[in-house]
Structure 1
């Protein structure tokens, strides 16, 4: 099966590949460490609250980003389907091959 998949890969045009991935972030995210003059402590401001969690999901082709969506909270099946149906599908072309990781909500 891997051999057949590898042979199939040789037949596709990379210009038709669309890669999807997602990442989570926190709006109050800051560095825990900083750089300073040797022997001197580094001071900086830090948010006092925990901040909101956000998710960014995007699709990229060899031309660059073709679809992105940011929303509060984490990715679930409903938000993934909104991204696919309303954001990504209108940007796809005939022959596009969408590649995604194996996150369970896909």
Structure 2
């Protein structure tokens, strides 16, 4: 109870796969939407970020 919230830094972790692709597309009416998808598997990337009451700090 004696901890000042302004002194705390929360660690936020998120991740994504670099070969993620959209499953839906948009195009003008009557035209086909074309797209490409990655051939290789890709890598997983993890992003760590510090969050304070004043906003995000070092990412």
- Alignment match, 2:8: 17
List runs of 5+ in structure 1 lacking aligned partners: 1-7, 69-106
Q: How does 1:1-106 map to 2 (within 5 A)?
A: 8=1, 13-68=4-59
State the 1:62 CA deviation: 2.5
The CA RMSD over aligned residues, in Å, is 2.2
TM-score by length of 1: 0.44
* Higher-RCO chain (CA-CA 8 Å, sequence separation at least 6): 2
Aligned length: 59
**Does the residue aligned with 1:15 lie in a helix, a strand or coil?**
helix
List runs of 5+ in structure 2 lacking aligned partners: none
